[in-house]
Amino acid sequence: MIDSYQAGQLSGINLIGMQKHIAEVEVRFYKVFSVMQTPACIIDLQDERIINVNYRFVQVFGYSLSELINKKLNEIDLWVDNKQYAEAKAQTLDKGCLREFDSKLKTCQGTVIDARLFVDFIMIKERQCILVQIIDVSSNQNLTCVFGKTQRKLVTLLERMNDGYIMLDHNLHFLYVNYQAEGMIGKPREQLIGKSIATEYPLTTHSAVYKAAVKAKKENIHTSSEDYFPNIRKWTESHFYPSADGITIVFRDITARKKEEAMLKRSREDFKTLVENSLDVIVRYDRQFRRVYINPAIEKLTGLKNESLFGKTWYDLDNFNKEYADNWRKHCNIVFLSGKDVAFEADVPSVFGPRHCHVHAVPEFDQDGDVESVLAIIRDVTERDKMEKEMARLDQLNLVGEMAASIGHEVRNPMTTVRGFLQMLSQKEDLGHYVDFFALMIEELDRANSIITEYLSLAKDKAIDPKLTNINSVIKMVFPLIQADALQMGKNVIYNFNVVPERMLDGKEIRQCILNLVRNGLEAMGPGGTVTITTYVENDDVVLAVKDQGTGIAPEILDKLGTPFLTTKETGTGLGLPVCYSIAKRHNAKISVETGSCGTTFFVKFR
């Protein structure tokens, strides 16, 4: 049978940490406490003062609440013999409870009552207290009636609990199993009462629930654990409450919660893996515009360590760019104020020079719906922009080449005819005094023909005849012509050959490319300057480098290099470099430029 001790244990349930049930269980307990037919009071264990009494206590002893609350039992002259109070107190502290302690108590009117005391330890809002129940033993019939009603109410309360409730004796045998526990552990209570829980549900010594149960029993304290039970295939949250009679276990099924937690953890791990390995830079900013998260891609973009940026604003960095910082702050502030995402372009400073980036800033909301932080996804589009410029330039080259191809034949035929007649007329004796004019006209026709040839070199579908060729041999073949041009201009040209592998090259086109690059270098220098031609291998690429000692290329011209008809020379056609770019394209090669006040170097890399 469940005696008044269980009422104390019911209050103890409030300490199990189950926040959703604390208030409900406490209210139910006080309802039972208030309607108990036996006088009862609750005493704070620390200072031994009464913190609550039920209606029956007030009715039997005749004191008002103000005369009882915050008073000690021996202060209200309740005991006929104070020695009995001292003995009851000593036994309670020694045994952890008090059962059927006979004593004589008196009411405020002086009426003496033969009473039997039942005392249990309980917890009320994390305060250790004592529940004292007083039964008038002068009428055994009244005792049976009253206690029976209390027991039925307690049992009803336990059976309606949403949590499992099990009572064990000191030998860990089942004394009581409520309805919810019966359903959770999967066995009828009739098969469990009187049997050992260790036999019915054996536990490994390293399991969390085993350790919690042993600690509760050994140290006489409340413990809890979360563990998985393979035999019932459920996760449970268990709480253990030791007492003088054994141990009480309150537990709940948390399998659904654990599955949700596992799914959430997996989602977080997947998200972290995605973010940590993203090629885009991902940065989270708080409301003070500090970086509170940065993924590893930031190091590749800026060349700066993650640690040097974390927790700082744009203004906290050494040598920060105010215009850049103001731009970021403005757009992040828009997200904070509007709660909407924004996209913008920004030149991000880096140790490699500014990187042009596309930024998408999105809001992150807290539980109240306010923007808590801004997540910025930063994509480096520098190379994409270069590629787009390169494609636009090649499109221009192709257009010019296609136009030249379509009209070249029609233009060259009449030019050939005119040139032939000029040569014939120049040989007539009666026109001898016009020989110089004829020579000039023929020279200009040849120049026009060479321009048409350059036009045709721009066509993307121009046929080439590649053969395995060493670029050093191509340079040696054309070097005497280059050297003659240099000497005529009062300048120098030298070469520095390294051992390089052969590549599939069209010798005629490569000679044209070398001639154009070297002549550009010669024309960019003053008298006495030197052009250096170098070949070497870099990352399996064969590199041709042509370096001059000029004054460099202006920034506004540098971005437009390779555009048809772009020239800084008075007599130039603006087709020399475009032809080089077209030849490189047809050979799957790439041209890059380095320029400065001490000169310019063109690199042609053959893969």
Instruction: Name the region of 367 (left: φ>0; alpha: ψ -120 to 50; beta: rest).
Output: alpha
Q: Report the pLDDT value the prediction gives residue 601, as an integer from 0 to 100.
A: 93
- CATH topology match: 5-159 vs 279-376: yes
Work out the mean pLDDT of the chain and round it to a whole number.
82
How far apart are the C-alpha atoms of 125 and 36, rounded to whole Å? 21
Give the C-alpha separation, 246 to 225, whole Å: 19
Backbone angles phi, psi at 38, to 5 degrees: -105, 140
Q: What is the pLDDT of residue 10?
A: 42
Weakly modelled stretches of the chain, pLDDT under 70: 1-23, 138-151, 318-320, 390, 392-413, 451-463, 562-574
Element (H, E) at 387: helix 382-426
Q: What is the pLDDT of residue 301?
A: 85
Closest CA to 97 of 250, 241, 249: 241
pLDDT recorded at residue 531: 93
Coil, strand or helix at 565: coil
Contact between 14 and 25 under an 8 Å Cβ cutoff? The reply is yes
User: Residue 576's closest CA among 533, 535, 519, 527?
Assistant: 519
Domain ranges of the chain: 5-159, 164-257, 279-376, 381-461, 463-607
State the Cα–Cα distance between residues 398 and 458, nearest whole angstrom: 6
Per-residue pLDDT of 149-185, as tens digits, reads 666 777 788 888 889 899 888 888 888 888 888 888 8
With left for phi above 0 and alpha for psi between -120 and 50, is residue 457 left, alpha or beta? alpha
Instruction: Pick the closest to residue 5 from 35, 40, 34, 37 (CA basis).
Output: 40
**Residue range 279-376 in CATH 3.30.450.20:** yes
Compute the residue count for the chain. 607
CA–CA gap between residue 303 and residue 63 (Å, rounded): 82
Best CA proximity match to 176, nearest among 225, 249, 235: 249
CATH dotted code for 164-257:
3.30.450.20
Instruction: Say which residue the tokens 């009715």 belong to.
Output: 59
Could you confirm whether domain 463-607 is CATH 3.40.50.300?
no
Q: What is the dotted CATH code of the domain comprising 5-159?
A: 3.30.450.20
Q: What are phi and psi for residue 49, nearest 5 degrees?
A: -100, 145
Q: Which residues is 345 bridged to in the sheet?
A: 358
Looking at residue 602, what is its pLDDT? 93
Mapped onto helix, strand or coil, the DSSP state of residue 590 is strand
Per-residue pLDDT reduced to its tens digit, 348-399: 888 888 888 999 999 999 888 899 999 999 998 888 877 777 676 666 656 6
**Hey, how many other C-beta atoms are within 10 angstroms of the C-beta on 521?**
27
Place of tokens 């009426």: 111
Inter-residue contact 548 to 529 (CB < 8 Å): yes
pLDDT of residue 541: 92
Q: Distance between CA 222 and CA 239 in Å, rounded?
A: 7
Distance in angstroms (rounded) separating the CA atoms of residues 539 and 555: 29
